[in-house]
Structures are given as C-alpha cells and as structure tokens.
Structure 1
Amino acid sequence: MKKEWPDLQYDKLKDTIATVQLWTQIVGKIKLIKMPWLNHSWHVTFTVSPHGLTTGGINYNKGIFELSFDFIDHQLLIITSEGDNERVSLYPRTVASFYNELFEKLKALDIDVKIYAKPNEINPAIPFEKDEVHQSYDKEQINLFWKALVKIEPVLNKFRAGFSGKCSPVHFFWGSFDLAVTRFSGRVAPKYSGVVNNIPLRVMQESYSHEVSSAGFWPGNEAFPHPAFYSYAYPIPADFGTQKIMPVEAFYSKEMGEFFLLYDDVRKAAFPEKMLMEFLQSTYDAAAETGNWDKKSLEFNYF
C-alpha cells in the first residue's frame, strides 16, 4: 500500500523551519559563490534526495564536493571527489554554532570558501555567526516536512514534463524555503520593481526578466500559517484571479496575487496526486490563457 501523505501542522513545524531555513541559506550561499551564475538563480538551488536535500556537485580546487542535509540520520554530510568526507550533526543548536562548525569542516577538507554571511528574504537579517536566537530542531517535524517533499516532487516533475518551452527544474529555493517549478512564455516581461527583504533589485529583475507561470509548495509563515501549494503569474494578467480553477478547495488571494491550495486539503483527498495535478494544470491554464501565451507551441504530450 502507498504511504499516506504526512500530517504537517504549522504551529509544530514553524520553529524548526525558522532554524533550518537559516542553515540551508548558509549551505546555499556556499553553492552560490562556487558555481557560475545560471539564469534566474537556478545555480543556487537544492534538489530533494532520498534522505533530505542536496546541493549536487559544487566545484572546488580539487574537483567537486557535495553538501547534503540528511533528515533521517540528522546530519549535514560533506563529501568530495577526493574520497574525503565530514559530518555536521543536526540537533537543537544555534545558527552560529552550525555556521562555525561547518566552516571548520570545510577547511579540514581544503575547501576554501567565503560567503556573504547574512540571510536573504528574512527580516531582521542577523549575521549567521552572531545568531544565537534560532536554535530549534525537532527531528520528527523536519522528517515529516521532508517526507512531504518526497510526495510532492514527483507530481511537480510530472507536471513539468508536459511543457516543451523553457522550464525550470523542480528545485528547492533556500531563500524562500519552497519547492518550485516555473514555466516561461518566451516573451520578455516588464522590468520588476518590487521589494524583497535583503535581495538586490538586480537579482529580482534578472529572476523575473521573462513572463512566467510558477507553482510550488511552501510551509507557510506567521501571516499565512498553513503549509500550502501556490501558483502565480508574472506579470499578473488582468483577469488571472477571476479564472475558474480546480479543485474547488483552491482560492485566489488578492492581497498576495496568487492562487493557493492548502496542503491539508490535498493530504486528506482520496487521490492527493490527482488533486494537486488539477491545481497545477488549471492555474497554469489560467496564466497562459489570460496572458495570451502560445500554448500550442509550448505544450508537449509524448503519447
């Protein structure tokens, strides 16, 4: 029998997420500084792995190395193409403690790296080496969150496969702490002029340089305390939010300018994968049709 989707409760998860997000930002910034820039910041992302989240291969002077969060054995594993490895244990510890030990282990492996050591997309942005505030780590809760990603990632990949235009990988952004996939119309977008906490405007303008329909999964925040699936378009077409979408549980937030479907509604559905796919497809259709995308040339069906 297929395992049920895990039960995620924001109140139980939030403190651990707040700490782990900062840990992932430290690791993500190592990948950022070591890898060549890829359009829309795709070079900085993680992917879901059989034990957690991984950077994949990162270049360094002796070859490549990889940083992998293991949410089963609760460690950050560092492995190199030289056959060496180190581990950083994951437990209720401060961001400063994690940061200092990680860079000691990298030095022991002869991996020379220096990062901009402050968070992005978070306010206040406490420097990592001074952050004694965030120190929560509930092994059960982070394991449940990762198990949810394991359920979600194949559905996003299947959805991605139906598009022949430019499309991102299914990847995890450590800045916003979400698993996402983005489709592109192929047309240049109006220059982005919004403000995101501790992100240079030039980075956001490059990220949204072209028209997109983007969807993914996010654990929520204090203003929206619910793990949820989202879907948005940039730029937002005039009639986007009025389109009929599926399933009936989904809704449009005028304040946030995007569609949402609560994770719990999907988890409790008789066929969770089918419900999620309906949401992904119908919200993409809403973006593409109201945005006058050339759907015929962009969509793909092998069979």
Structure 2
Amino acid sequence: MSDSSTTSWPSLRVSDWTDTRDTLHMWTQIVGKIRMAHAPLVNHWWQVPLYVSPRGLTTSSVPYRSGAFEIEFDFVGHRIEVHSSDGGTDGFPLRPMTVAAFYSRILDLLGRLGIEAPIRPVPNEVDPAIPFAEDHEHASYDGEAVTLFWRQLLQANRVIGEFRSHFIGKVSPVHFFWGGMDLACTRFSGRPAPEHPGGVPNCGDWVMVEGYSRELSSCGFWPGGGEEGAFYSYAYPTPEGFAEQAPGPEGAYHSTEFQQFLFPYEADRTAPDPDRAVAEFLHSTYEAAANLGRWNRPALEDDPLRWHGTSATPGNGGA
C-alpha cells in the first residue's frame, strides 16, 4: 500500500456519487436505529452512532438479551455482516437496491439470527422523510465510490482521533452520526448550555435538547460543504465574536450558510501536509471557541505524549 498523500487522501467529488451517498445515508440510518433500539441512553446520544472500522462502518458490540451482536458495513468486500455472540452469523452483498429492499433484507437476516429490531422505520434529519419500507427512490450503490468515501473516513478518523487525545475533559468518541451522515468529535467545557431551540427536519426538538445540553466545541467531517466534502467546526452556544475569527490553514473559512467553520476536503487533500493542515484547522477553531467562551483550558487539556519515553507502558504496570 502506498503511503503517498495522494493515495492516503483520495479524491471523491460529491457530485460524482450523490445518488449513492443518499442511498447509503438511508442504509446507515436503518442500521443505526437498530443499534439505538437495544443500547441504553448515554449522554448526548453517544449510544447510537457507528464507528469507522478497518473495513467500513460498524455498530460495535450491541447488547441483546444476555449476549450481544454486531452489524458491519464491509466497504472492501461490499457486504453487510451480522455476528451474534451465540455463534450465529449472516450477511448479504451490498449492490444497487432500493432502501425498501435493504430494509426488508436486514430485518429478515436479523430474524433468522433471532434478533428483534423494533425501530421507528422513518429517517431523521432529512426532508422529505420517506418511510424505509416505501423508499423505492434511493437505489444506487457505486462500490468504488463507497470504498473511496470509507478511505476518506479512515483519514479523518485518524487525524480527529489524534486531536481528541489532547483533551482530558469530557469528550465524545470519534463516531459516525447517521442522522447527518457525518464523522464527529465533541469537547465539553463542563458547564450547562442554554436549551437548544431544535428545528432540525424530522427530528424531535427533545433530541437536540439532549445533544446540546452542555456547552461544547464540535468538529468533524461530512460529505458536503465542499466539492469533495469538508471538515467542520462549531460551538454551542456560539460565543460572541466566534464567526469573526480567522482560523488556519489557508482555505478555511466561516460559512454563513452553515453557521460554522469549514475546511474543504479538496483544500486539505492538496496541501503539502494534509495531516498537519487538518490538525491546524481543528486546534485553531477549538481555541477560538474555548478562549472566547472562557473555558478553563488548563484543567481540560494536556499533552498526549506526557508519558512518552518513560517505562510506563500500558499493561505492564509501569515495569
């Protein structure tokens, strides 16, 4: 495998895979809702997202009765696989099919494994919200494009994960929210936030109230906001003067349309050092939010290399 930046950070124009993106969005919503049906609430809905895996996206282990199961989108072999702790496993190929067909097949597959999936069968955060069983409109699957998208997620997951390691306060995992189809990581100041007004299409206001109940700075990547997608960063509540800040690197800007900072993926991909460019964007926008919001940064941040070079290796008791 080549280590060159042009290979590691692949090019994928949003306009070249919009139909597939929109179909995949609905498929991930179905799988995410299945996870949500069986996992207990964790603050800010952390129990519902998917995670980037070595081959695609996974629910991770989902509790079920006295055991567990996992659903994984394999974007290398182009299959969806379900594994159960009782030894059962099943799957089917990912290929062009309607959302209605995918919904029927995944429910049948789970039924064969003895797993019930009581979900609300309507998508969230989209308009119109076509019930899954009636959605014959979205039916595209370009396997090559999906693999490229997964490789974009791999890079974003890695770099955002490194950014996350600098924060020792309350911080979310790097996770894939199927509502907005974005990879996200959120830091919290520790203070309560004003009640969120809601207003997201086909999503109860109470969902946003839970998600934004604490003051935060959030960042991520999603396949929108640029020709090849974009990294984003925003704060809630938005501190005065936030939009007027000038974060790095070159190409980053504040979007009045989305009310957040954006760094187009194509600007990062073509930068001399894409990792460093994303890191600069994430750190500079967070610092703008934290400084303007008067966060207690010394109590919330630390050097992830603080034990580097010592004998304190995890798992050996420091021996």
Would you call these one fold, judging by a TM-score over 0.5?
A: yes
Question: 3-state SS of the aligned residue for 2:139?
Answer: coil
Number of the residue aligned with 2:316:
none
Number of the residue aligned with 1:31:
35
Contact persistence 2:11–2:228 (CA under 8 A): no
User: Is it true that 1:101 corresponds to 2:105 in the alignment?
Assistant: yes
Contact persistence 2:196–2:213 (CA under 8 A): yes
Give the deviation of 1:226 after TM superposition: 4.4
Number of the residue aligned with 1:184:
188
Number of the residue aligned with 1:261:
263
- Equivalent of 1:203, from 200, 207, 230? 207
Counterpart residue type for residue 261 of structure 2: F
User: Is it true that 1:194 corresponds to 2:198 in the alignment?
Assistant: yes
- Equivalent of 1:242, from 244, 269, 279? 244
Give the deviation of 1:254 after TM superposition: 2.3
Counterpart residue type for residue 189 of structure 2: S
Number of the residue aligned with 1:295:
297
Contact persistence 1:120–1:199 (CA under 8 A): yes
Identity of matched residues, %: 46
Number of the residue aligned with 1:81:
85
Question: 3-state SS of the aligned residue for 2:170?
Answer: coil
Contact persistence 1:62–1:82 (CA under 8 A): no
Question: 3-state SS of the aligned residue for 2:63?
Answer: strand
Question: 3-state SS of the aligned residue for 2:46?
Answer: helix
Number of the residue aligned with 1:9:
13
Taking the TM superposition and a 5 Å limit, the aligned residue runs for 1:15-94 are 15-94=19-98
Give the deviation of 1:301 after TM superposition: 1.1
Taking the TM superposition and a 5 Å limit, the aligned residue runs for 1:154-193 are 154-193=158-197
1:243-293 CA-partner distances (Å, limit 9, x unpaired): 121102100012322100000011111110000000000000010011111
Q: What is the CA–CA distance in structure 1 between the aligned matches of 2:182 and 2:256, rounded to whole Å? A: 21
Q: Normalised by the size of structure 1, how large is the TM-score?
A: 0.97
Counterpart residue type for residue 149 of structure 2: F
Aligned length, in residue pairs: 301
Contact persistence 1:6–1:144 (CA under 8 A): yes
Give the deviation of 1:82 after TM superposition: 1.2
Give RMSD over aligned pairs: 1.1
Question: 3-state SS of the aligned residue for 2:17?
Answer: helix
Question: 3-state SS of the aligned residue for 2:122?
Answer: coil
Q: Normalised by the size of structure 2, how large is the TM-score?
A: 0.92
Give the deviation of 1:191 after TM superposition: 0.6
Query: Quick one: structure 1 residues 195 and 225, their matched pair in 2 at CA, closer, same or farther if it must change by over 3 Å?
Result: farther
Counterpart residue type for residue 139 of structure 1: G
Question: 3-state SS of the aligned residue for 2:186?
Answer: strand
Contact persistence 1:88–1:98 (CA under 8 A): no
Contact persistence 1:171–1:180 (CA under 8 A): yes
Number of the residue aligned with 2:232:
230
Q: What is the CA–CA distance in structure 1 between the aligned matches of 2:288 and 2:259, rounded to whole Å? A: 13
Contact persistence 1:191–1:205 (CA under 8 A): yes
Which deviates the most, 192-201 or 274-283? 192-201
Q: What is the CA–CA distance in structure 2 between the aligned matches of 1:177 and 1:213, rounded to whole Å? A: 19
Contact persistence 2:177–2:184 (CA under 8 A): yes
- Equivalent of 1:126, from 122, 126, 130? 130
Q: What is the CA–CA distance in structure 1 between the aligned matches of 2:34 and 2:158, rounded to whole Å? A: 27
Number of the residue aligned with 1:151:
155
Contact persistence 2:59–2:71 (CA under 8 A): yes
Question: 3-state SS of the aligned residue for 1:43?
Answer: coil
Give the deviation of 1:84 after TM superposition: 1.1
Structure 2 unaligned spans of 5+: 307-319
Q: Which runs of 4+ in 1 moved over 4 A?
A: none
Query: Quick one: structure 1 residues 199 and 232, their matched pair in 2 at CA, closer, same or farther if it must change by over 3 Å?
Result: same
Structure 1 unaligned spans of 5+: none
Contact persistence 2:246–2:253 (CA under 8 A): no
Counterpart residue type for residue 44 of structure 1: V
Give the deviation of 1:62 after TM superposition: 4.9
Counterpart residue type for residue 220 of structure 2: G
